[in-house]
Amino acid sequence: MATEQRPFHLVVFGASGFTGQFVTEEVAREQIASEQSSRLPWAVAGRSKEKLQQVLEKAAQKLGRPSLSSEVGVIICDISNPASLDEMAKQAKLVLNCVGPYRFYGEPVVKACIENGTSCIDICGEPQVL
């Protein structure tokens, strides 16, 4: 799997949620700060394309980067649909999981990542999960 080409280096899953918005903005900030040649392809993922676009537009406005929405991929994915989780995981090397509460929604994301050879980081601080 290490040599397999995937369209995105990382995906922020749950990008339109409270934590996901902050993570999306920080990833965008780091990508803007990087030289053109060292930027990594990335995407946001969630249930609503419209909400994901709004998050990207808000980050673009805040960072003064109007082209951000066209530079970032959008993946429609729902925690209650294992096939959509698999499809998301197949497209990325790393999933930053921002969908919580993790004690309810964390395991399906980890499972999809394991089954598809994708690294996963839970942006979590819940004692029940840790």
Domains of the chain: 8-122 (3.40.50.720)
Give pLDDT, residue 123.
84
pLDDT digits (tens, 9 = 90+) for 67-98: 899 999 999 999 999 999 999 999 999 999 99
Strand 42-46 relative to strand 8-13: parallel, antiparallel, unpaired?
A: parallel
Q: Got the DSSP string for 44-92?
A: EEES-HHHHHHHHHHHHHHHT-TTHHHHSEEEE--TT-HHHHHHHHHTE
- pTM of the predicted structure, to 2 decimals: 0.90
Rounded CA-CA distance 53/75 in Å is: 11
Write the CB contacts of 4 (distance below 8 Å, at least 6 apart in sequence).
Answer: 117
Above 60 in pLDDT, residue 30?
yes
pLDDT digits (tens, 9 = 90+) for 113-127: 999 999 999 887 666
